[in-house]
Amino acid sequence: MTARLEHTDDHAPDAVARGRPGVILLIACAAQFICVLDVSIVNVALPSMRESLGLSPAGLQWVVNGYALTFAGFLLLGGRAADLLGTRRVFLAGLTLFTAASLAGGLAQEGWQLVAARFVQGLGGALLVPTTLTVLTTTFPRPRARARALAVLTAAAGAGGALGGVFGGLLTGLLGWRWVLFVNVPLGTVLSLAAAGALHGSARSVLRGRLDLPGSLMVTLGTSALVAAIVMSEGHGWTSVYPLLLLGAAAMLLTGFLLWERRAKHPLVPPAVFRVRPLMTANTLALLTSGVMPATMFFVSLHLQYVLDMTPLRAGVAMLPGAVGVALGAAAASRLIAVLGPRLLFLTGSLLTAVALAWLSGLPPDGGYTGHVAAPLFLCMTGLGMAGLPLTLTAVAGADRAGLASGLLNTSKQLGGAVGLAALVTLATTRTAALTAEGSTSADASTTQGFGLALLVAAGAVLLAGVCGLALPRAARADPAPSTAVPPSHDTA
């Protein structure tokens, strides 16, 4: 990040590199996997949660978005904390908080308790995830090895997003919805023990700089207000006082964040970063496209259970083609990146995703599973798996600090996911409600048409992103380019 670090002899730039590379790669991928998994693992469990805790439709969205918002809003703070306090220390602290919040969520007896636990869980993930890219870029300093490691990390993240529905369905169907949260307790415990032994941090921390807590709070609260305004517009309309007040609060907080960062002594995001074209291009594209995966899995999981009358267990298994698609897309990307470069690879993945979403948007209420769900879901996730690596490589090549690049890119992904999911779900629900009020179609037909409209809009957003992706560099680079590095600010070493 951008804090000035004074390294003592026993404090290498990041001492984690002294561990075995294979073990460290496994730990980083496991951490990334479970954090991204928890964005979508609740999707299939949402109907069961609603019945058990009496959650409203808006409450169901907050079960998903509560995690995504704190995850996104505090990612940059987590990355800076790792730079200041040490990667190992912040990694273990984030994992402990994530595990404890998962236990609390599984024990929830009221809807608000579950939502609150999800907010805290997201904070733990925000401390945990930024350290993974820092760990890998330190452990794999050579460009080719780093590119392979980043491809594996991207695949792990993509698989986590796609497998969330599968695991959520299996756990809900076999053990109950609480186990979609309880499962993190043994996983987090094992990962903590492994990380404590493999990650070797500094014995002491010598730092100069402070955590920008005001900036982090403003961006998190501002984004939360924006998502809340989108969610509330469904029931009240955009001209109602509540959405308008929330939009005003979001505008004030996000504007305040930008002004604060320009004047802060130790800014969360140095203003100079906005002049780094590759990094900002990657983040803009991530904002445009990151809502597609959670929204698609959200709609598909509800369609399988509410329209096709599948049990949570069957619905989880039925979403497996999405996980396979992400894995295959990421694997193909690691081979194609050297041939096509980031620009053409991102365009290829985006076009494949847009076509698949348009196909999926034609869901009929009485249609079969294979041709109307499985095939387009597989192609959609394959395209998203291919499009992820170009953005990661471009972001890392565009900044001289992996922690900063990682934090910004992950923040853009999670903010885009939260806002995109809220907007698409609100669009689908509004369309469904309008058709139901007309009484011209059945309930299932109204629901599928609502889903279809949202998926078609998502296809348009991905297509737009593919065109904008022509601004990406032609050639792939896995190492930070000095000529495009973030210019040092007054507190940068």
Return the pLDDT at 455.
93
In this predicted structure, what is the pLDDT of residue 459?
94
178 — pLDDT class (breaks 50, 70, 90): very high
Q: What is the pLDDT of residue 234?
A: 61
Asked if 199 and 331 touch (Cβ cutoff 8 Å), the reply is no
Q: What confidence score (pLDDT) does residue 254 get?
A: 87
Average pLDDT, the chain: 79
Hey, which residues does 417 pair with through a beta bridge? none
**Rounded Cα gap, residues 51 and 62, in angstroms:** 16
Q: pLDDT band at 483, cuts 50/70/90?
A: very low
Assign 102 a pLDDT band (cuts: 50, 70, 90). Answer: very high
CA distance 395 to 193: 31
Dihedral sign (CA 187, 193, 194, 198): positive
Which of 199-203, 248-252, 391-395, 402-406 ranks highest by mean pLDDT? 248-252
Q: Where residue 347 falls among pLDDT bands split at 50, 70, 90?
A: very high
Mean pLDDT over 287-301 rounds to 86
Distance between CA atoms of 139 and 24, rounded to whole angstroms?
8
In 3-state terms, what secondary structure has residue 268? coil
CA distance 234 to 236: 6
pLDDT tens, position by position, 117-148: 999 998 898 888 878 777 777 777 777 777 77
pLDDT at 185: 93
Residue 233 has pLDDT above 80, yes or no: no
pLDDT higher than threshold 70 for residue 338: yes
| Least reliable range by pLDDT among 77-81, 307-311, 357-361 | 77-81
pLDDT of residue 238: 66
In whole angstroms, give the CA distance from residue 99 to residue 187: 8
- The residue among 19 and 170 whose pLDDT is bigger is 170
Q: 83-97, 204-218, 336-350, 419-433: which has the minimum mean pLDDT?
A: 204-218
Structure tokens at 106: 């599984």
Q: What does the pLDDT read at residue 484?
A: 34
- Between 91 and 56, name the one with better pLDDT: 91
pLDDT confidence of residue 409: 80
Confidence of residue 202 (pLDDT cuts 50, 70, 90): very low
* Predicted pLDDT at 20: 80
